[in-house]
Every structure is written in structure tokens, then in C-alpha cells.
Structure 1
């Protein structure tokens, strides 16, 4: 009787624990949520730069205006698809571009590399236009390249860029998650990392001699910050993309449509603090570790080219599954996410001939069974006919005997 009372209590306790567990990952108040960042910006996201896993999100897929963080895309294209040693001749349109500039002169000749520095450190819209015109002849043609690049190289699909600088355009939108993934891609390039982490540099232009000071205050105000770009327009509000590294952990934080620069910086710091303090790196596959996945058609061996790790919440120990394509997937508070991919190193197909032989043998067995059953029924039928024939003969004999008796006068 005592056990009957214990079982409902245990079930109730387990049910409560499952109901309460996800709360730790949501915004709110309470002892279990005190460390969760309360973000005031309209949209925000924090990702593990190594795996790409989302650690925190608020309206992370909401389309919003990017402002000057657009220049992250322009810069990585110039670095990867251009020649930084090229000499760029500044056009009249670039010279008279709207917004923040590095005061390029019409006809001035500048290296592509110097333009990238001026665009990222001082947010020069004139430098962005000069880069676009040099690479594709016009801002419109370069914008087409931008959209192809982020879709094909980065894999984001919710962003649309219409100019290289981020100047207001109703059709130009991005999301916090897209920008985090774009920054993650860009920060893998050493040249890009070097430029966005540069705090200041001398600028000796034809019409402007000065010292450029990086507009991203996180480089001075947050320990471990090493990039990447801030932005502002009236329509977009304040936008900020930040990369930071501590103790070998790389994080990327994005905020969109903050009501002021201080809110953008404080929201970013909260998310980064949360990422560094409340997560640990778990290894799901070690380098060269193998995994065999078998299905009806083949047995496939997958191998990890490098260790696959991801940040997971402290106090948790999630498992992983490997998809048919070799993706390593884990369950997170923000759904199932990929933490990396394995490489196919061997495949053993289940041969069709063996399958055919097995099917043939199975068919032969079935046919043998059918023939055996038929022979049995035939034998039984023959035996029945023999018995029936014997009974008829016996019956006729008795009738003849009776007839003989009557003829002999038997009554």
C-alpha cells in the first residue's frame, strides 16, 4: 500500500521538473533566471562563434534595418574576392556620398586595403562606394554580389542588401541571427580580424589628414572584445555586432534597433557576460573519432576531421545524434541545432545480388511449401477415393447376397 502512494509523488515530481526546466533559458525574473540577460534592444542574439550554436535570442529572426553593420559584408567581399593591393580611383559619386566619410577626393587614388580600413574603422560611406564601384562598376551591381555572397558562402537567407554602406533603404533588411553568422564567417579571415580589432590608425588622404579612431567602443570598454562594427541611422536605430574572446571561448553578440548607443553597448555586455559565465565547452567528437551509421541500404563510416565542440549550459550534459548527411545535432533551449559535420570515409552498400539471391531463396522456399501442400491434398483425396470405392463394392456385394436369398425362398 505504501508503494502506491510513493509512485504518484514521484511522477508528479518528475513532471514538475520537466515543466520548470526550460524556464532557466527564457527571459524573466526569479532565482533561476537572475543571470539571464534582460535585453532592451528590439532584437538580439548571442552565438558560440566556434559552433554557431545560438546561446540567447530575442526576436533573432525579425527583419530590421542594419545601418552601417552592412559594411561587414562589403569588407569581407573586398578581402576575399578583391585584390587589396589594387589602386582605386575615387569617383565623383563616391566623393559626394551621404553620411559619415573619410573625405576622399574625386580622382584620388587609394589602395583597396586602405579603403577597407577607412570603411570599418571610421565607417566611411565614401570608402564603401569606392570599393563597390571598383569591384563591380556600380553600387547596384555590387549589391547583387553581396546577396549572392551571403547566401552561397555564409548560408543566410533572411537578409537583403541594396547598397554597400547601410544607408537607409526600405528594401534593405537583415536579422540579428543572420548578422551573427555573417560576422562569424568574416572573423575566420585573419585580415578581417586584424582590421576590425584596430583601435586607431593615421589617415593621410589627399584632402584629409587625421587619426582614425574606431567607432566601436566595445574595443576599449569590454575585456576580450576584438571587433566588429557598430551602426546608426534614424530608421535603424543603433545596431552593434561584437566579437569577444576569453579563455579560448569565442562569442559573437548582435543587437538591432537599440534606442541609443548606451543601450546597445550595455545589452551586448550583458549577453557576453552571460555567455562567458553560464556555459561550458563540451566535446561531442574528438579529432579522428569515427562513427558508423547503418540503414537498410548501406553501412556508412563517418570521421571527425577535427574535434567538434559546442557551448552548452552549465549543469547540463546533452547528447548528440548524427544525421544521414553527417551533421552532428544537439537539442538546445532554442531547438535542435547543428554543431558541426563529420566526413564520410567509408561506405559499404548492401549488394543487390545478395538481396536478389535472398529473395530467390525465399521465393523457392515458398514455392516448395506450396508444392508440398498440393501433394498432401492430392494424397488425401486419392486415399478418400480408394476408401469410397471399397465401400461401394462392399455395398453392392451385400445387395447381391440379399437378392440371392429371396430367389432361394428366404423370407
Structure 2
């Protein structure tokens, strides 16, 4: 054991000195603590410098530690590369290896310039073994150059809702240019994973690839065969583990983003700078701690199932509105729009949602169907979860001379 440990430290020091990315080769489950977590973890108890626990269904952050701090994120970048490839290319398309792709540092497949592969096979190499040359070959196949592919990555990140991410390389190797350094945040990385497993039209294909334990393929000519093994040890650590991606560079440290589904709840954990060699198991300890906290403390609710106070949105008086007769009080019913966002979400077991009604109690004619008269707001403490717009259901015209003459005539029929 000590010989293996010393050898790993020596290799790591040498490779990181050259800026080479490392994939973990030894048993990643050893020394991982398995304690039960029922209370909110103290931030000092986490190894990661930045961490987020997210509700994958709503996108709400349930726990964070420096969740919006921009940091290098190593090979966790490859989840974005993978989903862009799945959305933009046929899996059976042929990828020709360039000089640049063939020259990528370890960890790599060892492809040679001019070799041809099917895109599907390279995606398994990308996600299971974290091969850097696969990432570049895929990027060039899709966009022509890695620079043009980086634009696709940044555009997709903005579309997903990322607030502070900037991608330069398709494989996550540390890089800088005139616009900044390759980075994301734990919050943004969680959003990207959420998109990959929940929102994208290719989510099922993404899950199929990232959950595969082992995959074998050959180049198109059939001259070379390859075997890929999944390095996401979390898939065997907790029941319901869905997907994930590890990462490491000398600058980023150990990084991880993973997802787990338990009953009707889906959680995402993102960790950045979660230790450096020889602390490769820190990320598993942090991931388990945050996942167990989510499982033990949060329950799912549906805002649609929370009963509203009917008295709060009862028919509203319309002053000077035309009714069926003179002197009659005129009212109009209200229409409550459905919840548009965060219909289902997770809240702590001892929390309750509070509802605020901000509605006009008196209207003045004329009013038209669809007129806005207020909102119903769902609150969790000070956090606004959702709003429902309330509008007029029935048009009511204003009393005028002609209406008065008509109603007066009805009182004294000829």
C-alpha cells in the first residue's frame, strides 16, 4: 500500500509540473467516510473550497459554500462538451483525427493523426476515461476548431443560465486568453449537469453514456481496439446514483459533479478544488455528505397542491359597472393563472410555504377580461418561490346614459 501511495505521489508531482491532467487509477472508494448526515453541514467540515447541493427538478440551490466563486473546473467541463456533441451531431458520424487532437497530453486515448472513429465511440472515451484527445477531436468535428467550439460552449452555458462561466478548452485543461481563464462556479456547474440530465432533449442518451461501466470499440478501419472503464466511483457508492464526472488539474485540484435520484427527489452536487494529491477521496466524502443531507432533510412539495384561500380571490366589486338592474352591486370573478415555474420543489421537512395575496379589492368600470388586478406569491421565508398572476374573468362595462335609459324603461314597461 505504501509503495503504491509513494509511486502515485511521485507520478502526480511530475505530471502536474507539466500541466498534465490526471485521471484516478486506484480504488477511489477507500477511506471514504460513510456517516449519516441529518443536519446542515458546517462549511468548515467540507474539503471542497466551493460546493453546491441543488434540487435538480427546480434548479434551486439547497446548500452552498462559495457557490458563485469563479474557479478552474478541470474535466467536469466535458459534460458540456458531451451534451453539445449529442445535440449537434449524428452519433454515427465519422470523426477524423487532426494533428492537434493527436498531440493532446495524458490522459488520452493515444489516437493518431488521420485515424477515423465514430462519434459515439469517442463520447464514451470522453466521459468514461476522460480522454483529452477525444475532446479535441469531437470539438473540431463539430465546429472546425477548438476556438469555434468554445464559442458554442459559452453560448450554451449562457442559454442554460450560467452567470459566471468562461470556457476555452473542450477538455477542461487549464487555459487563459485575453478574455480570462477557463472557469465556472459550483452553481453554474450544477446548472449544466441539470441541463444534461433533465432539460436537454438528449438527456437520456447522456445518462446512458455516463452510466456505462465499461465500453469497447475500435477505429473505423478496425486496426485498433480500445476498452474504456468508468472512473465515476460514485455510481457504486449510493443507491440511486445517476451520473457524474470527475476532474483534476494541478490548478483546479480534484473536482466532481454528480447526480442522484432517491424516490421522487433528484439531487446534484458540484465540488471545486476538493483537495489535491494525495487526497483523491475527499470529493467522495463531500459528495456523500451533501447527498445524505439532502435525502434526510428535504421533502418534495407541489405548489399546485397547496390550497388557496377562496375568500382572498372571491368575486370583486366593480364600481359603476353595468348589472342587470339599477342599484345592483356588480362584481366580476377572478382568474388565477397556473404556477409557471418551480411547480415541484424541495423544502426542508420543518419548513412551510407562506402565501401572500396582493389583489385589488375594488375595481372601477369599465374592466375587461384579462385585465391584471394582482398576484399571489409563494414564499419560503424571504425567498420568493413563485408568483401567480390574477386577472379579471368577466368584462364589465361602465354605466352610461343609454344603459340608464334602457333599465329605466324596463322598470316601466309599456
Residue 347 (structure 2) aligned to one of 305, 312, 323: 312
Which residue of structure 2 lines up, in the alignment, with residue 331 of structure 1? 380
Which residue of structure 1 lines up, in the alignment, with residue 230 of structure 2? 214
Measure, in 2, the Cα distance between the counterparts of 1:231 and 1:293.
56
Deviations 1:133-179 (A, max 9, x none): 11111000100111011112x11121010111101114111000000
Q: Does 1:245 align with 2:294?
A: no
Measure, in 2, the Cα distance between the counterparts of 1:326 and 1:190.
37
Residue 88 (structure 2) aligned to one of 66, 81, 91: 81
Residue 338 (structure 2) aligned to one of 299, 303, 315: 303
Residue 72 (structure 1) aligned to one of 79, 101, 104: 79
| Structure with greater Cα Rg | 1
Aligned residues between the structures: 320
- So what's the TM-score if we normalise by structure 2? 0.68
Measure, in 2, the Cα distance between the counterparts of 1:349 and 1:82.
51
Change in 2 beyond 3 A, CA 1:305/1:236: closer
Displacement after TM superposition at 1:204 (Å)? 2.7
Deviations 1:198-220 (A, max 9, x none): 12112334675342111111012
In structure 2, the gaps of 5 or more residues are 1-36, 319-332, 359-371, 402-414
Measure, in 1, the Cα distance between the counterparts of 2:169 and 2:99.
17
Deviations 1:351-408 (A, max 9, x none): 9x859x79xxxxxxxxxxxxxxxxxxxxxxxxxxxxxxxxxxxxxxxxxxxxxxxxxx
RMSD: 3.7
Which residue of structure 1 lines up, in the alignment, with residue 64 of structure 2? 57
Which residue of structure 2 lines up, in the alignment, with residue 405 of structure 1? none
CA contact (8 A) 1:286 1:304 kept: no
Which residue of structure 1 lines up, in the alignment, with residue 205 of structure 2? 191
Displacement after TM superposition at 1:33 (Å)? 8.1
Deviations 1:245-292 (A, max 9, x none): 1122111001100113211110010000000011111221149x9x98
Measure, in 2, the Cα distance between the counterparts of 1:253 and 1:232.
17
Q: Does 1:166 align with 2:172?
A: yes
Measure, in 2, the Cα distance between the counterparts of 1:164 and 1:326.
44
- So what's the TM-score if we normalise by structure 1? 0.69
Higher helix share: 1
Q: Match of 2:135, SS?
A: helix
Q: Does 1:141 align with 2:148?
A: yes
CA contact (8 A) 1:196 1:227 kept: yes
Displacement after TM superposition at 1:86 (Å)? 1.2
Residue 123 (structure 1) aligned to one of 124, 127, 130: 130
CA contact (8 A) 1:143 1:162 kept: yes
Deviations 1:173-232 (A, max 9, x none): 100000001100100211011111112112334675342111111012222212110100
CA contact (8 A) 1:327 1:338 kept: no
Residue 109 (structure 1) aligned to one of 116, 123, 134: 116
Change in 2 beyond 3 A, CA 1:350/1:55: same
Q: Which moved more, 1:219-228 or 1:231-240?
A: 219-228
Higher relative contact order (CA 8 A, sep 6+): 2
Q: Match of 2:227, SS?
A: strand
Measure, in 2, the Cα distance between the counterparts of 1:199 and 1:322.
52
In structure 1, the gaps of 5 or more residues are 1-31, 359-411
Measure, in 1, the Cα distance between the counterparts of 2:384 and 2:282.
29
